[in-house]
Amino acid sequence: MENIIQTKLAHLTFKSPVFTASGTYGYADEYDDFLDVSEIGAIVTKAISLKPREGNKHTRIIETQAGMINSIGLENLGIEGFLEKKLPVLRAKNIDFIMNIAGSSMEEYALLGEICSQNNIKAIELNVSCPNVKSGCLEFGVSADSLYNLVSKVRENYDGFLIVKLTPNVTSIEELALACKRAGADCISAINTLKGLEVKFELVNGKFRKTKVQGGYSGVGIQPVALSMVNRIRQAVDLPIIGMGGIYTLEDMLKFFAVGADAIQIGTANFTYPDIAKKLQDELREYIIKNNFKDLDDLKNKIRTCFNEQ
């Protein structure tokens, strides 16, 4: 049977449009107990930096009423550790993946891009939007000029599929998207987390104790913002878009397709429902067959036509 949910992003083809978001799915096979990871569209690895990072030492995660806030601080094993320990697993298990990379300087991003090219990493996602590290990432992702320079440097060194992950913590996401296109990006992913703060108090023997986390807010609560941002990006550029932000259901996926996303990433939902990527992928396939769409592209075209009607 023809793969009716096969997804093409520019020159790269994936089994489906259902990916898992960076920071929510480990590096390779951490979810093997719950599903066959090789069957989903792709996983996006934890952010990989040039050198290993320990991450933040304070409380890192806290639940909110409509999601969670994380301040992990990009803890990871570094590019050498990834190439030695994780890349062989991904390739042995035939898992499609996108490597998320993060640097503290433009030179680090460029070097990471060069290393990825040398090791035939077919797709990378530039993390220029993490809000909970002291240097790098967000400082490059909020200025169109800085972002253009960064993406251009990476493009010079990396010949694979180049995705840029944008932050919603800006006035004009359209300017950032245009800068990415001018600099040679192949695709945009959006959105990363919103800046947020959660604090919880406990009264013990007449004294308050607090748990406080300031960092990236994700989950169902950010979905309306994400839909708006993806729609605005789609109006500004014709690059493929990978949409994300509070996706838990088939209906959520359809909303992102309607506003212009070509694929989606599932993030916070993975922590509660570790097999959700395969579940939603199967539901999407069944929905297409049940409602007599020719394939995923046919579904996208029709739902976008409805969305854009006056």
Q: Which residues are designated catalytic?
A: 130
In sequence order, what DSSP letters do the residues of 71-105 get, joined into one string? -----B-HHHHIIIIIHHHHHHTT--EEEEE--SS
What is the token pair recorded at 146?
């800085």
In sequence order, what DSSP letters do the residues of 195-244 get, joined into one string? EEEEEEEEEETTEEEEEEEEEEEESGGGHHHHHHHHHHHHHH--S-EEEE
Q: Residue 43: how many CB atoms within 10 A of its CB?
A: 29
| CA separation, residue 259 to residues 20, 241, 289 (Å) | 20, 10, 22
Q: Is 153 left (phi over 0), alpha (psi -120 to 50) or beta?
A: alpha
What is the token pair recorded at 259?
């506003």
What is the token pair recorded at 255?
């909303």
What CA–CA distance (Å, rounded) separates 16 from 6?
Answer: 5
State the DSSP code for 187: E
What is the token pair recorded at 281?
């992928």
What is the token pair recorded at 96?
């499609």
Q: Which residues contact 65 (CB under 8 A, 6 or more apart)?
A: 221
| DSSP 3-state of 27 | coil
What is the token pair recorded at 207?
């004294």
Nearest Cα residue to 97 out of 30, 168, 178: 30
